[in-house]
Amino acid sequence: MHHTTSPESAPESPAVPADDPRAAAAADELEARAPSANAAVPNSEGLRLLAVHAHPDDESSKGAAMMAAYADAGAEVMVVTVTGGEAGSLLNPAAAEVPQCHRDLTGVRRLEMAEAAQALGVQHVWLGFLDSGLPEGDPPPPLPFGSYASLPLELASAPLVRLIRRFRPHVVTCYDESGGYPHPDHIMSHKTTLEAYHASGDPAKYPDSGEPWQPQKLYYDRAFNPGRFRALHEALVAAGIHSPFGERLARWDSDERPDWLTHHEVTTQVPVGDYLEARDAALRAHRTQVEPDGFFFATPNDFLREVWPYDDFVLADSKVETSIPENDLFSGLRGNA
């Protein structure tokens, strides 16, 4: 597992801890009523959502269907990609046959990102930081000089504060403290998002970064929700279909559970059954990173619509009154935005 540290630390949002009775009750209620939640998100005109991601392709594997659903419902949805993915590898063998992928992988990934944003119907902004790469070794080597995860917190956060004050989102989504998985850029994007979320409404902080604006809700993406994988695994087995999740679940249930798999309980499930094809189109747009018949497409969409037609999130902070469990990231904001 790879960790990175920053000279400063962002304030941690009070995410509902796993041992909080409210979290357990919300999780039980969500599981009990699945998949009978609202079939679609409400009309969302006038509302704005900002999703913070570390690299191009992260937006398509984490919360993509949710973004497509809200964009289609009239919300302004923006993806901000912190780095250019310059340190990425060719993860789809077919892409290795394309000469441009070897000459200019960064340029190819920019084109892929534009195609993915179009598939989801969202706006997109690059923050322009340098990909830190995933250090390997024991101990791991130092991060590249000037890379995103090597920067002081305020320096890395200032562009995101500026963007929040310009776009004025009501809701912000990001990874939890583990980064979703322990890539230095994922962990740093968590830290900078928390810093920007808390600082953007304070006129005394980042005074040269625009007029203050305070987002009202912060969510952690829960793409690696063990409950989701377990429900899909059990349904596949019951249907006599090979499950690709058995080995993973066995590890998670044993002493081999990875440290980065946090114990946050899901508080919010957004119904996305009608937008799984948009998610797939966005994933396949990232041809250098995603095999067209790979893991992300292991479960047929019609099956997902029956078993788990949601994207899962953890409510980390709210400035408005709401009650969990939720089926809407804008719960508590409608009529007040």
| Cα 310 to Cα 32, 54, 147, 178, distances in angstroms | 14, 23, 35, 22
Run of H or E residues at 123: strand 123-129
Summarize the annotated binding site for Zn(2+) as residue ranges. Answer: 55, 58, 186
Q: How far apart are CA 292 and CA 296, in angstroms?
A: 9
Q: Supply 79's token pair.
A: 């993806």
Spatial separation of the C-alpha atoms in residues 271 and 33, rounded to whole Å = 13
| Cα distance between residue 87 and residue 183, in whole Å | 12
Number of H helices, E strands in the chain: 11, 7
Residue numbers in the known binding site are: 55, 58, 186
Residue 180 backbone zone (phi > 0: left; psi -120 to 50: alpha; other: beta): left
Give the DSSP H or E segment for 226.
helix 226-238
Distance CA 231, CA 266 (A): 14
Closest CA to 53 of 62, 66, 43: 62
Sheet holding 217-221, edge to edge: 123-129, 76-83, 48-53, 171-174, 217-221, 310-318, 268-271
Instruction: For 318, list phi and psi in degrees, rounded to 5.
Output: -140, 135
